[in-house]
């Protein structure tokens, strides 16, 4: 599921950017660097996801024992990155926070719908469709962060990744709460 959702980012990031540009009536302040995105997918995410899948399949007890530690470290690093990026950009009038939030909402919505469509195509139940939707949108945070790192010289995309984390987490949390209430 992670591999498919990350691969779908090649389509969803440019699509969300195009949607935002149409909604705003002008070019978005963030451009979707498709070549860098594909490169990062192939060089960073594919090997990491493959190694994780191999480890889980080959040594399930070891993977299960270390999963909480690895997840805690990953979450701590993401939170630290977001805090540092937001702190460094807080007073910058050129940041474009409002358009960044719109882009993130469009991206998360597109990822959410794509996840539901994939689960539906696979014959999944409503619960499966929700799970795929949530996974597609949250897994793409890794894609956004990988692209942000790859484009170290483009501060706008690093900010996009930070805004993505700040917007995506509450959106998916709200969706999970609504699904639980249903």
Output the DSSP codes for 144-156: HHHHHHHTTT-HH
Give 119-159 pLDDT, tens digit per residue. Answer: 899 898 888 888 888 877 776 555 565 555 555 555 666 66
Is the pLDDT at 97 greater than 90? The verdict is: no
Rounded Cα distance between 37 and 21, Å, is: 20
Closest CA to 114 of 92, 101, 129, 124: 129
Burial 10-40 (b: 16+ CB within 10 A, else e): eebbebbbebbeeeeeeebbbebbeebbeeb
Query: Which span out of 28-42, 89-103, 118-132 was modeled with the highest average pLDDT?
Result: 118-132
Task: State the average pLDDT over residues 163-179.
Answer: 76
How many folded domains does the chain comprise?
Answer: 1
Rounded Cα distance between 39 and 36, Å, is: 5
Q: Which residue has the tokens 């060089």?
A: 43
pLDDT value, residue 102:
73
Residue pair 16/110 in contact by the 8 Å Cβ criterion: yes
Task: State the average pLDDT over residues 112-116.
Answer: 84
Phi, psi of 92 (to 5 degrees): -80, 115
Q: C-alpha dihedral over 109, 115, 116, 117, to 10 degrees?
A: 110
Query: Rounded to two decimals, what is the model's pTM?
Result: 0.51
Is the pLDDT at 61 greater than 60? The verdict is: yes
Q: For residue 157, give its domain range.
A: 2-26+33-181
C-alpha triplet 49, 51, 53: angle, nearest 5°: 70
Rounded Cα distance between 51 and 46, Å, is: 8
């Amino acid at each position: 599921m992670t591999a498919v959702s990350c691969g779908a980012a090649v389509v969803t990031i440019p699509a969300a950017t195009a949607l935002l540009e149409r909604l705003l009536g002008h070019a978005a302040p963030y451009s979707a660097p498709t070549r860098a995105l594909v490169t990062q997918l192939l060089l960073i995410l594919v090997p990491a996801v493959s190694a994780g899948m191999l480890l889980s399949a080959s040594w399930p007890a070891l993977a299960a024992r270390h999963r909480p530690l690895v997840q805690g470290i990953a979450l701590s690093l993401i939170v630290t990155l977001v805090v540092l990026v937001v702190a460094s950009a807080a007073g910058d009038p050129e940041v474009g926070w409002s358009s960044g939030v719109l882009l993130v909402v469009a991206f998360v919505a597109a990822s959410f719908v794509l996840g539901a469509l994939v689960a539906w195509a696979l014959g999944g139940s409503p619960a499966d469709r929700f799970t795929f939707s949530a996974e597609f949108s949250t897994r793409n945070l890794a894609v956004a962060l990988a692209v942000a790192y790859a484009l170290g010289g483009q501060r706008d995309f690093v900010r996009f990744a930070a805004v993505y984390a700040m917007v995506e987490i509450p959106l998916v949390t709200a969706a999970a709460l609504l699904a639980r209430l249903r």
